[in-house]
Chain A
């Protein structure tokens, strides 16, 4: 007599079994997406050429991976998610639930995340952590600035694209959101230039999936703005968790739905706390070095 041991509920095991091939399939589609391929090429190009000019401070160059891997990655995953809408009447009657299919789409973000990690290592070659372009930040804070500006946006952008694709029907939503976020980052950065020591402006600057931390000082040197890069990473990761949960919420039913809503409340509260800590932590005023 043979005894079979099964760990976990049968539904959960079946869901996990379906998730792996689905995630692999979605990853294959994502990797072949021309928008993502363009983003990777542009990221590598800007990393190697350093933006084509003289780098006086690190924020001159480290916004490009966020724009290409994060912004363009968001557009690619949005279209990837929307491309399944036409087959929804067929896919909707298969045993695989919509949250499982959404989870498979979310796993796609691993690809740009690894691209971001590789870009970070590529960055550390021409701009080692001890370089003067980072300004007065400590070595660990310099690393946090790079992780928060290169690696985490590469993960969060594609996750945001999946959430947007699950909830918004308008086909131009991804590039409109990309432009709105781009405009917001520009606006709050320019406001910070004239209110460098203001705590509310610092919180506004960090109330974004991407933020700058330094500026080239007119008197020479690099000025670091107030705010904690480490807590900012926490805020960004909370935003990533919120994006995943919002995406999973679409089509979730019963106890799964209530669990997701509870998790969303916790993630939202955590995000607010981390944003306040990011705005009030770190340097309490602008420091030039």
Chain B
């Protein structure tokens, strides 16, 4: 059963975006001067890849099977290994190139990015069968906000750049990890079918009397 749930995942999207992230992160490793600009972009792409792990085109059928959402979410979470492995590969390449990054903080940022994408997908999955595009876009915009809006960068840092002043990214990511864990637990454990889907699943004949 786990194999069937995993096979139905949006693997082309997850693997494709992770591949693009590896290319972007690889450029960051190859050109150390650009690493602090490109690694956050790479991590944002990995977060977007994580957002596609719960996509289920056949959700109308799958959501009414006896397999509960918690079990399905747990099985699909295995797909997170793809963006995590891609991120680890990029960090390894950066380490081999001699980049002086705070590695523990960078690893935490990688885990936080991926978990944020997955949590957004979990929350959106309670309303739609294919949350990847919307959740991925939302997560990317949030993660890129410090790079796009300088006012945000003064308050929040999402990547641990060496020698940079301002707030530490570790506080941000520990908070994000805690909030994401709660959000995933609530979404996967206690979610219900969206109303529009419940109506579609139980068709009512014209003139039928509500019991």
Contacts and interface: CB of A to CB of B under 8 A. Distances in A.
Interface in B117-170: 130, 132-133, 136-137, 140-141, 144, 147-151, 154
A49 B151 contact: yes
24 contacts: A46-B149, A52-B154, A64-B149, A67-B148, A68-B148, A75-B137, A171-B130, A172-B13, A172-B52, A172-B132, A172-B137, A174-B137, A175-B140, A179-B24, A179-B48, A179-B140, A183-B27, A183-B37, A183-B38, A183-B41, A183-B42, A186-B41, A187-B38, A190-B37
A156 to B, nearest CB: 18
Given A172-B17, A179-B45, A187-B31, 7 more contacts: A42-B149, A75-B137, A170-B13, A176-B45, A179-B44, A183-B27, A191-B34
Contacts of B38: 183, 186-187
B37 A172 contact: no
B48 A186 contact: no
A126 interface: no
Contacts of B42: 183
A13 interface: no
B16 interface: yes
Given A49-B151, A171-B132, A172-B137, A187 B48 contact: no
Contact of B37 (A51, A67, A186, A194): A186
Contacts of A175: 48, 136-137, 140-141
Given A172-B17, A172-B136, A176-B20, A182 B41 contact: yes
Interface of A: 42, 46, 49, 51-53, 64, 67-68, 75, 170-172, 174-176, 178-180, 182-183, 186-187, 190-191, 193-194
B33 interface: yes
Interface of B: 13, 16-17, 20, 24, 27, 31, 33-34, 37-38, 41-42, 44-45, 48, 52, 130, 132-133, 136-137, 140-141, 144, 147-151, 154
Contacts of B33: 190-191, 193-194
A170 B136 contact: no
A176 B24 contact: no
SS of A interface (majority): helix
Contacts of B149: 42, 46, 64
Contacts of B140: 175, 178-179
Nearest to B24: A183
SS of B interface (majority): helix
A190 B33 CA distance: 7
B24 A180 contact: yes
B12 to A, nearest CB: 8
Given A46-B149, A49-B151, A75-B137, A187 B37 contact: yes
Nearest to B137: A175
A52 B130 CA distance: 38
Contact of B16 (A42, A170, A183): A170
Nearest to B130: A171
Question: Top 3 A-B pairs ranked by shortest CB distance?
Answer: A171-B133, A186-B37, A190-B34
Contacts of A53: 150
Which of A75, A176, A191 has the largest count of B CB atoms less than 10 A from its CB?
A176
A40 to B, nearest CB: 15
A170 to B, nearest CB: 7
A134 B150 CA distance: 20
Nearest to A170: B13
A53 B154 CA distance: 10
A222 to B, nearest CB: 19
Given A49-B151, A175-B140, A190 B31 contact: yes
